Amino acid sequence: MNKPVFAMLLGGVLGVFDGLTALISAPETAPDIVGIVIGSTVKGVIAGLVVGLVAQRTQSLTVGIGVGLAVGAGLAALVTIGNPYFWEIVLPGAVVGVIVGYATFKYTPRNTRRAV
């Protein structure tokens, strides 16, 4: 599995948990939780794609974490437009970005060629 695919899968899985944090930080959003989780999952997949593409171009862990933080927080900030829950949305999004950035740069894909 290459780095962009790995990062997108990880971003999607972590995006589910990112969305579920809404039940803790803003319990009044419970009726909208399905949409929140779907949106957070898509946000995580997009962040994973960007981080994975950067991971193919550079080997710098610092750059990977920085890009993950910027993309995760940036996408989350876009969601907050017209929403009173700025920090409740941006902080989990930024954490997902940092985790995806770190894990993607530490991930070493297996050699897919088989010995004959």
**Is 88 inside any structural domain?**
yes
**Is 112 inside any structural domain?**
no
Structure tokens at 19: 């969305």
**Is 114 inside any structural domain?**
no
How many structural domains does the chain have?
1
pLDDT (tens digit, 9 = 90+) per residue, 26-85?
Answer: 899 999 999 999 999 999 999 999 999 999 999 899 999 999 999 999 999 998 988 888
* Distances in whole angstroms, Cα of residue 101 to Cα of each of 5, 44, 92, 110, 112: 13, 11, 14, 19, 23
pTM of the model: 0.88
Structural domain that includes position 40:
3-106
